[in-house]
Amino acid sequence: MPDTLPVPIADGLICPETEGNALFASRERATNRLCFPARPEDDPRYERVLLPRTGRLWSWTIQRFRPKSPPYAGPEAFEPYAVGYVDLDGALIVEGRLVDVAFDDLAIGMAMRVVPLPFEMTDGTLRTSFGFAPDKGVGA
């Protein structure tokens, strides 16, 4: 991960070699089934894989009130945010925040890509989480 990105919010979540633009998953060797988040790397039943970086919005909503803490660890000041599931090209449908998009522009089927998401914790420290942003290079 480049110096500009804060420490990841969890290990084994975001691939550091992709500048935060790809997520890890695990493939169960026996069934080929993918699971996210990735299993611990030392679990011999799974192999670690990278999920596709792009996909289509599968569903979405807007979180209009501040979630309770715990478990929420964001800042006290609250701004509504978008959440959605993105069907990552032929692999898995993954949930995450939707960023760089006006709420009114959200539409099921729109092209999205994985992006790193700086996340401010309650104590003011920054971590890198992930989100999905419109993939402008692809037509809807």
Partner 1 sequence: MSEDVFIIGAGIHPFGRTPGLSGLQQGVFAVRQALERAGLAWRDVQFAFGGSDAAGNADTMVSELGLTSIPFINVANGCATGGSAMFGAYSTIKSGEFDLGLAVGFDKHPRGSFSPLPADWGLPDWYGETGLMLTTQFFAMKIQRYMSLYGITPHTLGAVAEKAFANGVLADHAWRREAVDMDTILHSQMVSDPLTKFMFCSPGEGAVALLLASGRKARELGLPAVRLRAAAVRTRPPGSFEVFSPALDLERGGSPTSVASQAAYDMAGVGPEDIDIAQLQDTEAGAEIMHMAENGFCADGEQTAWIAEGRTRIDGSLPVNTDGGCLACGEPIGASGLRQVYENYVQLIGQAGARQAPGRLRLGYSHVYGAPGVSAVAIVER
Q: Select 13 or 133, whichever has its Cβ closest to partner 1.
A: 13
To partner 1, the closest distance from the beta carbon of 10 in angstroms equals 4
- Scanning 42-50, 91-99, 132-140 for contacts with partner 1 by CB under 8 A, the matching segment is 91-99
Nearest-angstrom CA–CA distance, 53 and 23: 8
| Sheet-wide strand order for 24-28 | 34-35, 24-28, 46-50
Site string for partner 1, 51-90 (x = CB under 8 A): -------xxxxxxxx-xxxxxxxx------x-xxx-x--x
Can residue 46 be called a binding residue for partner 1 (CB under 8 A)?
no
Whole-angstrom distance, CA of residue 116 vs CA of residue 95 = 14
The secondary element (H helix, E strand) that includes residue 120 is strand 111-120
Distance from C-alpha of 97 to C-alpha of 90, rounded to nearest angstrom: 20
Provide, rounded to whole angstroms, the least separation between the CB of residue 74 and partner 1.
6
Size of residue set near partner 1 by CB under 8 A: 43
User: CB–CB of 82/130 below 8 Å?
Assistant: no
Amino acid letter, 96 = G
- Interface residues with partner 1 (CB under 8 A) are 9-10, 13, 25, 33-37, 58-65, 67-74, 81, 83-85, 87, 90-97, 103, 108, 119, 121, 129
